[in-house]
Amino acid sequence: MTSYNLKIMEIEKELEDTDHYLDFKTEQVKIEKILKLRDQKNVLILGHNYMKPLIYHLSDKDSRGDSLALSMYAAKSTSPIILFDGVRFMAETAKILNPDKKVLIADLNAGCSLADPFRKQDVLEYKEKFPGAPVVTYINSYAEVKAESDYCCTSANALKVVNHASKDFNSNKVIFLPDSLMGKNLENELGNLESKIELIYPGKYDNKFGRCEVHEKISAEEIRRIRRQFDLKKGSSDSAVLVHLECPPEVLAEADYYGSTSGMAKYLLEHPNLKKVYLGTECEMTSNLQNEFPQIDFVRACQVFCQHMRKITLDKILFSLENEVYEINVEENIRRKAKTSIDRMLSIGR
């Protein structure tokens, strides 16, 4: 049996008893075409946790995940072509790590409200204002920004990277860009740990503000309402509210766990007694985890979708693979500098 046949059988099995089985049957021909091309052209398909289930399942289990996992997979790739099912900054990170490979994304306009407005000039201004302080930049940023930064980080390792940066640069001040809410959340964590590190982030001493347009919409009041409505008691052993680190601080205070998207999946694995769960993050994450954890009843009260992630569709993926179009390119000078900050993060790990 060919590899694409095996993969189709695997997807069918994974989706068999889920809400997405009918969609799979409807789209099966398209999915088969994509997987045939994957095999013919030896393509690695990487898929972010926020992809719609049919797209998410195009990736093998060891090629799906959060931004950190996907960067790690990209760094180890041996395929000549990488198709990135996620947003542009993620595909760009894969290209920075794989300059000799073709990196494709189904829609080059799949942006990110954190990455899009933030430019190299913004980093330079922070460096000038706080000389000697290392710059830790969230992976949700473009190459020109990473190139001016000392470290890259993701929501899975931000605190660890901040600590490394402070130590390596022998500096109590660390600049964290561009997410203001995550900056405040990390500052709170440092405070809880009685750390001497002072975090500087947009909005702390200026009127800049970096935000995820999806997670900023989740409010503490909404979490409290969901807890009441669905009987999700804080600290209970059989239910939990998990939220992303990009949410506002008051939302984190209402949650049982906060972290990266894969951090949430790990939490579920480590708490096998959970019966009811609400996820405060992009809604497709709930669909994907529901398929992976059928024994858990996921509260379907989610209303926040990322318009950028949603630009990636099966039709566009097929077109991109057939024609090998929508390629990511990064100027070599910028790429080399940006790679240093990503390599430092990868060596620190999760």
Nearer to ligand SF4, 49 or 59 (CB): 49
- Give the Cα separation of 193 and 292 in Å (integer): 34
What are residue 117's DSSP bridge partners? none
Asked if 308 touches ligand SF4 (CB under 6 A), the answer is yes
Residue with smaller CB distance to ligand SF4, 86 or 134: 86
Does 81 participate in binding ligand SF4 (rule CB under 6 A)?
no
Q: Which residues contact 303 (CB under 8 A, 6 or more apart)?
A: 283
- 289 three-state secondary structure: helix
Q: Which residue has the tokens 């542009």?
A: 88
Binding test (CB under 6 A) with ligand 13P, winner from 150, 179, 187, 246: 246
180-192 vs 158-168: helix crossing angle, rounded to 10? 70
Contact 251, 239 (CB under 8 A): no
Calculate ∠ Cα 323-38-71, nearest 5°: 100
The one among 103, 114, 161, 285 contacting ligand SF4 by CB under 6 A: 114
Among 59, 63, 67, 98, binds ligand 13P (CB under 6 A): 67
Q: How many Cα atoms occupy the beta-carbon half-sphere of 158 within 13 Å?
A: 31
State the minimum distance, in angstroms, from the CB of residue 203 to ligand SF4.
16
The single residue among 252, 306, 338, 342 that binds ligand SF4, judged by CB under 6 A, is: 306
Q: Which two tokens stand for residue 328?
A: 């990511």
52 binds, among ligand 13P, ligand SF4, none (CB under 5 to 8 A by kind): none
Per-residue DSSP letter, 69:
H
Structure tokens at 190: 């440092």
112 binds ligand SF4 (CB under 6 A): yes
Which C-beta is closer to ligand 13P: that of 93 or that of 320?
93
Please report how many Cα atoms fall inside a 13 Å half-sphere around the Cα of residue 11, on the Cβ side: 24
The helix (run of H) or strand (run of E) holding residue 41 is: helix 21-41
Which CB sits closer to ligand 13P, 47 or 134? Answer: 47
In the complex with ligand SF4, which residue's Cβ is closer, 138 or 151? 138
Applying the rule CB under 6 A, the residues between 132 and 171 that interact with ligand 13P are 140, 154-155
Distance between CA atoms of residues 269 and 263, nearest Å: 10
Question: Applying CB under 6 A, what is the total number of residues that bind ligand 13P?
Answer: 11
212 lines the binding site for ligand SF4 (CB under 6 A): yes
Question: Which residue among 8, 54, 57, 66 contacts ligand 13P (CB under 6 A)?
Answer: 66
For binding to ligand SF4 (CB under 6 A), which residues are involved?
A: 87, 112-114, 140, 212-214, 246, 282, 306, 308-309
For binding to ligand 13P (CB under 6 A), which residues are involved?
A: 49, 66-67, 140, 154-155, 212, 244, 246, 260-261
